[in-house]
Amino acid sequence: MSSSTQQVVIVGRPNVGKSSIFNWLSQRRIAIEDPTAGVTRDRLTQRIECGEKIIDLIDTGGMGFDDPDGLTEQIDMQIEAGLATAGVVVFVVDIRTGRVPADGEVALRLRQSGANVLLVANKSDDEKYDVLGHDFDELGFGSPIVTSTKQNRHRDELVEAITTLLPATIGNDDATTTALPEMKVAIVGRRNVGKSTFVNALAKEERVIASPIAGTTRDSIDVRFEVDGHSFLAIDTPGLRRTKSRKSDIDFYSTHRAERSIRRADVVLMLFDATEPVGKVDKQLVDLIVEQQKPVLFVVNKWDLYAGDVERSEWAQYLRDTFRTMPWAPIAFVTATTGRNVKAAIDTTQRLFRQSQARVPTAALNTIIHAATQATRPPADRRGRPVRIYFATQVDTAPPTIVLSTSSPESLSAPYKRYLLSSLRKNAPFTEVPIKLLVRNHKSRE
């Protein structure tokens, strides 16, 4: 482990959800999540990108747990070793059970260590529990960040808090920054949804004309900007109109350029107007994004105008119900006019870009597929024999492209392919992006 890579150590008493936080931040199911206390014993380490930094994220065993196999002392030594090198300690408590004496014992130990401590109240699966977080104020680390890994609540806030608390690096910080190629981000949506305002918020200047007049942007406009030292290319696209409403050559070419921009993009930001229902044009754009197999972030803009009337969860569920084939696409709520949550949206875009570029070794890929086929057997071929899946391999990225070598490609049903894709999303680093699955006969040379 490189000494130049800062370490973030997750601690807490047993069963507060430390491993869930670890997997959630890693965006991979690495640590075992089990209600049985004491499952985690060793320090589990995963190098991840946290905001603009690369960190070593470390999961630890539960503090104060009396291991039935007599390993209490060794587990405790692992925790101490993690604390000794931690740039930030994420102290996890359970908001549902409330503050218990064991939490106080952990807090005392952390104060004695002198570590930078970030308090996180986990398992707030419903907003009604959030107020209970103040029960932990007396631990001496301020009010906690309230999270739910199950409902994916407040991950961005947690990441931002961790990066803010990390000590400043000295000298060459190449190890703590992410060297990414310039990423092309297409900003798409129907007319007057706020695309140009969003681009201006990214660029932090009035780079494109933003007007309440529908159809102000007629061409795709490239705007270069930087976030956290990384270079991006935002493509501001014309707002699409319904086909029957296209009245001029400008409308026709604007539509063509918007479609071309989606093809050019590494990631697409699909903007919706919080004050308007999803319309036919929105659905046409999403269909095009799906056809091009592009990573997409659903962005609900103008949220300040609607926030008092409906909960985010309701709008998110509305999008999930409307676009049922894309349950993996993340959703962001922003107010482009003020820049609120725009930075968080672009952080999510970076994450999608990395996922689309990820590669999984053949051995790991076959472990995932084997486990999936063991859990649910493939359908039978025309002779009544189960289809055999001999091996899987990744042949491309953007989108991640997986080839399955099988005994009968035509017999592998669409529902079973969707099942395999779901297994890949759960166990490979493609959780929020399209995956292209190709099935071939194992005897084919193609």
Q: Where are the alpha helices (DSSP H) in 131-232?
A: 155-165, 195-203
Mean pLDDT of 142-164: 91
Q: How far is CA 392 from CA 348, 362, 364, 368, in A?
A: 29, 7, 10, 9
- Parse the chain into domains and list their residue ranges: 6-174, 182-353, 362-441
Please count the other Cβ atoms lying within 10 Å of the Cβ belonging to residue 286: 22
Strands 267-273 and 183-188: parallel
Whole-angstrom distance, CA of residue 263 vs CA of residue 293: 9
- Confirm whether 6-174 and 182-353 share one CATH topology: yes
Q: What is the pLDDT of residues 193-228, one digit of tens each?
A: 988 889 888 877 664 544 454 443 444 566 667 887
**Structural tokens at position 224:** 């270069």
User: In the block, which residue shows the tokens 């703590």?
Assistant: 176
Comparison of pLDDT for 236 and 198, the residue scoring more: 198
Please count the other Cβ atoms lying within 10 Å of the Cβ belonging to residue 172: 9
Report if pTM > 0.95: no
- The CATH class, in words, for 362-441 is alpha beta
Report the pLDDT value the prediction gives residue 332, as an integer from 0 to 100.
97
Pick the CATH number of 6-174 from 3.40.50.300, 3.40.50.10360, 3.30.70.660, 3.30.450.20: 3.40.50.300
Quick one: which of 98, 190, 210, 76 has its CA closest to 144? Answer: 98
Q: What is the pLDDT of residues 112-122, one digit of tens each?
A: 888 889 999 99
Secondary structure of residue 98 in the 3-state scheme: coil
Yes or no: domain 182-353 corresponds to CATH 3.30.230.70: no
Contact between residue 288 and residue 240 where contact means Cβ atoms under 8 Å apart: no
Q: What is the pLDDT of residues 31-72, one digit of tens each?
A: 555 555 555 555 666 778 887 788 888 888 788 777 666 767
Res. 427: pLDDT tops 60: yes
